[in-house]
Chains A and B, each alone.
Chain A
Amino acid sequence: MIAMLVRRIIQAVLVMLVVAFISFSLFQFVGDPINNMVGQEATQQDRAELRERLGLNDPIPVQFMRFVGNAVQGEFGISYRMARPVSEVIAERLPATLELALVSGVLAITLGIVLGVYTALRRDGWFSHFIMSSSLIGVSLPTFLIGILLIYIFSVELQWLPSFGRGDTVPITDNWSTGLLTVSGWQSLILPAITLGLFQLTLLMRLVRAEMLEVLRTDYIKFARARGIRQRSINFHHALKNTLLPVITIAGLQLGSIIAFAIITETVFQWPGVGLLFINAIRFVDIPFMSAYLLLIALVFVVINLVVDLLYFVVDPRLRVTKSSSSR
């Protein structure tokens, strides 16, 4: 158990180092930063001095180590565009993205599992057929199109929900202000959350359905039936638990991509999160911000994967290393 944990953490650190290297190389490829920092009149000597002072003459490995050292402390330099520390800007915008991702994640996972199980158990019902065919829409329509369609129907035509922004927010801590405590906050959240979560929802639903049908055909379910175990217990105890094992992995990865791909939804709905910020950063070639964002998303994925691995350990008894006591 401990050995496995250590191994996984080492892997995670390696992945992060590779991503850090890619982030770091961004700086190397996009021109000489000195040009952006000094004025037209700067002499060759001024440039050299500045270069020396910023440590740009040091060998690349040393610079990389310095970059990693700073990154570990949450220090990513000053944003070119906003002239403020990147870490500060991100901390300010992150709550909006996390709340959006959380709500659409919860939406996708609960509805995905419920509908998946339902369609597996009522395979031939008309409602199941309806859900299955409409889920094709969710899988095949691109996110931005769904967002625009939702805006057209619910904001423009029906005028029920706002089409952009986050509504009113309430500060909880110094740099976390939430929209989850106000009515207008929830109203603004509904459309983006659906847009962001719809693809994951349909994917999960189809996965759960397929997996559940598979499990219902297994011998142990047949044997449970032959023992007269109640139908409800077979479906929701014996079968569902086995169904959810492989679903955990996918759900974890989906959660990661919900955060990462919030960019599109945030752009469509002008949601003030890090994704929107990232799009703007690209437009202005704001390298410090871009590299920080890259690292942040990588961290999210790595952490979620780690959690999924550990969760597996808790849920699946076959993975637990136990006192080996098999006998004939």
Chain B
Amino acid sequence: MSDVLLSVRDLVVEFPKRKTLLTALDGVSFDIHRGEILGVVGESGAGKSLTGAAIIGLLEQPGRIASGEIWLEDQRIDQLPYEKMRQLRGKRIAMIFQDPLTSLNPIFTIAEQLVETIRTHLPLNAKQARERAIQLLDEVGIPAAAKRVDDYPHQFSGGMRQRVVIALALAGEPELIIADEPTTALDVSVQAQIIDVLKRMCADHGAAVMLVTHDMGVIAEACDRVAVMYAGRVAEIGQVRQIVKQPQHPYTQGLMGSIPSLAHQRHRLIQIPGSMPRLDAIPTGCAFNPRCTSVGERCYKERPDLLVTNQGEVACWLFDQGGVA
């Protein structure tokens, strides 16, 4: 497709430990289109946040991209030198972190942090940058933005701070925002508001979003497409509606079954037996094989790649002509 903004191809991220080599991401591939919101779900440790960090080039030591490619339109960005990548960050790709309480520098005012970010990326003078800062704060819904802009982070509540964080991420007019569980640390009552703000801001500014979360409710509400990750691999990608209604991969089916629904209160929630394997003990073949209810002989031998079906892409032998046997 021509409107592909970001393309991740066979991304492998490794963490060299003292003796062994842990493969945290193993062949992750997906696209993000211009202006869309792609949800990324999975259990803790599935590699969701790591994928985000790898894209923006901020993997923590000693993690490194071992192979694969990341393309931003027609520019390959996974091998850029630090300074080139820095210029890209904030300007084309921005990132929002989980905890708004610790994401803002405590000893600088909101204005100082916004103005510096704006002036790093846009050719504005101090006065214009300040006006833009106030405008951004106004857009994310901070009341009396012109007055509050000179406050320090500690003078804002958690929800307000996450709004400031969103304003900061958007300050350089990026085309893609990686939001790493932006609502997890917030009050339940504020979560929906923040998702709303994020959605609206990105629509207004034409930014695509990679929304990392383990909250299926957030996915269903905010995203266009969703990628399900399991043990450092993508299990399934597709339109949100399809995946919520008709999940294909047995793992996705398990995930969806574990969401309580208001309509059928009597049902016992489905639970996926077992837990995700540790990085140093991922089984051969399909990583999900020990927990899968439809497992076949082939699943223990061969590893399934993403297969295109009429509903999206799924990494499961059930959808291959050869089947699981």
Contact = CB atoms under 8 A, between A and B. Distances in A.
Given A228-B121, A326-B156, A245 B107 contact: yes
Interface stretch (A43-51, A230-238, A271-279, A294-302): A230-238
Contacts of A231: 82-83, 86
Interface residues of A, number: 28
B88 interface: yes
A27 interface: no
Nearest to A224: B105
B89 A227 contact: yes
A318 to B, nearest CB: 5
Contacts of A39: none
B287 interface: no
In this complex, the interface size class of chain B, counting residues with CB under 8 Å from chain A, is: 35 or more
A137 interface: no
Given A226-B94, A228-B89, A219 B120 contact: no
Interface in B138-185: 143, 148, 151-152, 154-157, 159-160, 165, 168-169, 171-172
B120 A230 contact: yes
B168 A223 contact: yes
Contacts of B105: 220, 224, 238, 242
Interface string B95-126: 11101001111111100000011001100000
A253 to B, nearest CB: 22
Nearest to A245: B107
Contact of A327 (B152, B154, B160, B168): B160
A223 B88 contact: no
Given A220-B103, A220-B104, A326-B156, A227 B169 contact: yes
A229 B117 contact: yes
A224 B106 CA distance: 12
Interface in A202-248: 218-220, 222-231, 233, 238, 241-242, 245
A316 B116 CA distance: 20
Contact of A222 (B58, B87, B116, B160): B58
B97 A222 contact: yes
A317 B116 contact: no
B168 A325 contact: no
Nearest to A215: B105
Contacts of B94: 226-227
Interface in B53-109: 56, 58, 82-83, 86-91, 94-97, 99, 102-109
B33 to A, nearest CB: 22
Contacts of A224: 105
B203 interface: no
B190 interface: yes
B155 A229 contact: no
A233 B116 CA distance: 9
A241 B97 contact: no
A316 B154 CA distance: 11
Given A223-B97, A228-B172, A317 B154 contact: yes
Given A222-B97, A328-B159, A228 B90 contact: yes
B152 A317 contact: yes
A226 B152 contact: no
Contacts of B151: 322, 325
A328 to B, nearest CB: 5
A315 interface: yes
A221 to B, nearest CB: 8
A220 to B, nearest CB: 4
Contact of B106 (A223, A233, A317): A317
Given A317-B152, A317-B154, A326-B157, A219 B97 contact: yes
A225 B120 contact: no
Contacts of A317: 106-107, 109, 152, 154
A155 to B, nearest CB: 46
Contact of B107 (A222, A315, A328): A315
Nearest to A241: B107
A269 to B, nearest CB: 41
A227 B152 CA distance: 19
Contacts of A316: 107
Contacts of A322: 151, 155
A327 B161 CA distance: 10
Contacts of B102: 218-220
Contact of B90 (A227, A245, A318): A227
Most chain B CB neighbours (cut-off 10 Å) among A230, A324, A328? A328
Most chain B CB neighbours (cut-off 10 Å) among A222, A223, A317? A223
Nearest to B88: A228
Interface string B38-65: 0000000000000000001010000000
B34 to A, nearest CB: 20
Contacts of A220: 102-106
A318 B97 contact: no
A121 to B, nearest CB: 14
A124 B224 CA distance: 45
Given A220-B106, A223-B96, A227-B117, 13 more contacts: A219-B102, A223-B95, A227-B171, A228-B86, A228-B117, A228-B120, A229-B116, A231-B82, A242-B107, A317-B107, A317-B154, A322-B155, A328-B190
12 contacts: A219-B99, A223-B104, A223-B165, A226-B58, A226-B97, A226-B169, A228-B89, A230-B120, A238-B108, A325-B155, A326-B155, A326-B157
* Complex A-B, nearest 7 residue pairs according to Cβ-Cβ distance, in ascending order: A228-B90, A228-B89, A226-B95, A227-B90, A219-B102, A317-B152, A220-B105
